[in-house]
Structure 1
Amino acid sequence: MALGAELRRLGKHSAIYGLGGLVSRILAVLLLPLYTRYLSPSDYGKVETLIALSTVIGIVLRMGIHAAFFRFYFDSPAPEHRRLVLRTSFWFTMAMATAGMVAGLILSGTIADLLFGSPDDSELVMASFVGLWAGMNYEQLTSLFRVEE
């Protein structure tokens, strides 16, 4: 493939992935007045604590499947092998994300009590685990899009 065509392809994909990140950041800025109106400083702290917790739990639940997916997907040019890697990665991610979400929903009161000293914020904990589930599955889907190009 010619260098010019490769550069156009690179530019197109960079724009697509960059646009997604840009849109999410613009939305975050636009929603800031809503956040400041309804959330107190302690609420911001709770949200940030749950984001950090979700990040750590997500790393543990993924067990490196994201990197393994890319490594083994390109390990073989055979379509059957690639489908097997794709299915394994997809179902592993779905199972681990669902297990994490269910555990988080069941233990939300306990987690809220441990983190915030009261089970009153269990709904916030539940929301963070649902977000973790969605984030893990979204990452898997974007990985699929990346390898299919």
Structure 2
Amino acid sequence: MAPAPTAPPSPASARARCIAAPSAGARPMTERRARGDRAEQLAVDHLVATGHAIEARNWSCREGELDIVARRGDVLVIVEVRSASTDWLRSPTVTVSAAKQKRVARAAERYLAVCRGARRDLRFDVIGVRFVPDGPPQIEHIENAFTAPWAY
């Protein structure tokens, strides 16, 4: 038997989904995931210290996931966070492929439609966090790291 059709979410319930980050569920915490979570927290701390207000973290939809959605003034800032712990990779920011940029841009478009209602000034940033063995993490923030005209 086919499942019964469901009604589209009401604006109120759609808005609630924008505010809350999804649960991590019962997945085991791997070292890589723990490093990624730490990198995202360092990125949030950096953004707040530089005058950004955080709107959402790990916002998901069928088009993809947005690591961080922030606001600075009238600009909505979509932030992709990358991390690395190897010496051969000078900057984790270089690992954001064109395909990843497209997924992020499409997810951002969905975020705007579901959570914001109207399009506003939008910027795509990348924050790279490099964990070094004998020192504090190195943070590199690239504003306007990419544009995504093809996604719209």
Question: What's the TM-score once normalised by structure 2's chain length?
Answer: 0.28
Question: What's the TM-score once normalised by structure 1's chain length?
Answer: 0.29
Higher strand share: 2
Higher Cα Rg, which structure: 1
Higher helix share: 1
